[in-house]
Structure 1
Amino acid sequence: MRSKIFDDAELERLRREAIPSSNESAMAGDAAPHSTDQHPHVEAAMDLPVVVDSNDDEIVSHELEQMRSILEEAILETRSTPLENRPRLPRIPLSKRNRAVVRALNPMLVTYLEANRDLCETDSILFGAAVAVCRIIGAKLPMAGRATTQSNAIPAWRKRIEDRIAKARALIGRLTSFRSGNNRPRIMRTVRMAFAGTNISLSQPDITQKLTERIDDLKQKIAAWGKRIRRFSEGSRRFNQNRLFQSDQKRLYKLLERPKVCVAGQGPDQADIIAFWRGLWSEPVNHSEGPWMEVVASQGASVTPMDPITITPGDVAEAVRRAPNWKVRGSTGCIITG
């Protein structure tokens, strides 16, 4: 029980002990699918020692039975856990001890895999085996139900900046109170700490000016820190929106849409919509053009004009054929998302 690794002879004996006989396999195959109503309790097996003594066969058999029990409990727990609530498996360090645990558990899976005829059940068995390995070697698993939830915690950098802003505002309040004539011991102690290392004494005649300068300096720092938070937040928001646009455009547009406003009555008539947009784009408008526009027009006079293009309904149908079906026209006739 004091060894930390398995040699080849120990691994071979583990395999022989772990592989059940044909009768045991048949009995286990009949019993495994009907044991889903049990309530596993695996907390006590988290610190199970995996090392064995090469001179004690009883200890080897005992530890193999414990490993088999942990595997069965993990598989039963995985079967009864919804897919979205499964814990996230950690990355296991590569070591001889962890390899030995995996090699010892692999033959135990034969009983479950031979009696299985469902792909989802196979996934549950393999995931349960991975959970069993983590519990045997002592790896930490996150709590169930938190695998797919997104963390909305405030970033550490923002907390640090907000703490600086809070401390600076508190210091401004103390300095302002001292400048107004408050000489309480707590206020005096804070003011002395604010001017520590600056060769400024509170008995100087220009202490009021020094206080004003110190307060203005703190206000400028608060403004700079607030601007840094806004800049970082804006950059993070743009980054997340760009990444979401590449993965799920529909979700992005739902996040960007404004609250729905209920409009009483019927929507605008189609003829009115056409007349409105035609009035914006089709009516000629006289602009005040500068001399450089005449130069550009004279340079492009020799360019052969492009043939007129006629857009048919078939062309429009072909162009929007690959567009997402959740992008539809709104009441204004423009393409919106929802």
Structure 2
Amino acid sequence: MKLREVIGPINSYTQNPAGSSVRLRHRVNNIAKANDLNINEQNLRTLLENLKQKISALGARLRRYNKRVKRYKQNRDFQLNQKLFYRNLATDSQQQQGKPPEKAHMMEYWSEIWSKEENHNKDAYWLRKEEQRNQGIPEMERIIVTAELVRKALTRLGNWKTPGNDKIQAYWWKNFPATHPILSRQFQQALVDPEKMPPFFTQGVTYMLPKNQEPENPKNFRPITCLPVIYKLLTSIINAQITQHLKKNQILAMK
């Protein structure tokens, strides 16, 4: 018998015993028999207080359980994905107020930022200085993408991270090894002739995360773009080969 279903009739009966309906008195009588009590005001009030204390104890236990589950989840997130851990902390501490901006307003604001070209100074003096300093270092060998390199790069990717436009998560690439030789050949072709790379390869899905409690303004959002897993896979392979070359020739500064 649920506690609240017992508390309700007893509470109604003790407030007005004389004016209680036959159905209510019958219900209270059954409750008293189930608890081996004689029907009188003192016994019913004692039972009512005990039931309320039980509910209070169960509520406290439930709150402790929820805190323990939340703490366990936070510890796990901190160990596996610290970026997600800190993002969730920020989200929990920010209660959004107001409505988000209109889609057209959001696109107008961010299109101006994303469409603006950056002109980098390729003739900076420090670049020429670095070229002179590293003249004796051999040129990096050409990257040959193999199925084994694809497999190793996949181990560095999270299984269920949000995918890009293709909607394929890393878990499926990992567990279909027959695709690894095909991916290696496609990656190799992309390195030789980047123009043959399909357009979707570098296209992502952008999610706008609010930075504060005023989401009406488009500038108060942080864009997070999710690119296809195969894009991350190729860049991971390239990054690993470049890092190997830098370490081999002691180009990177030691920490």
TM-score over 0.5 (shorter chain): no
**Greater relative CO, 1 or 2 (CA 8 Å, sep 6+):** 2
TM-score (norm 2): 0.34
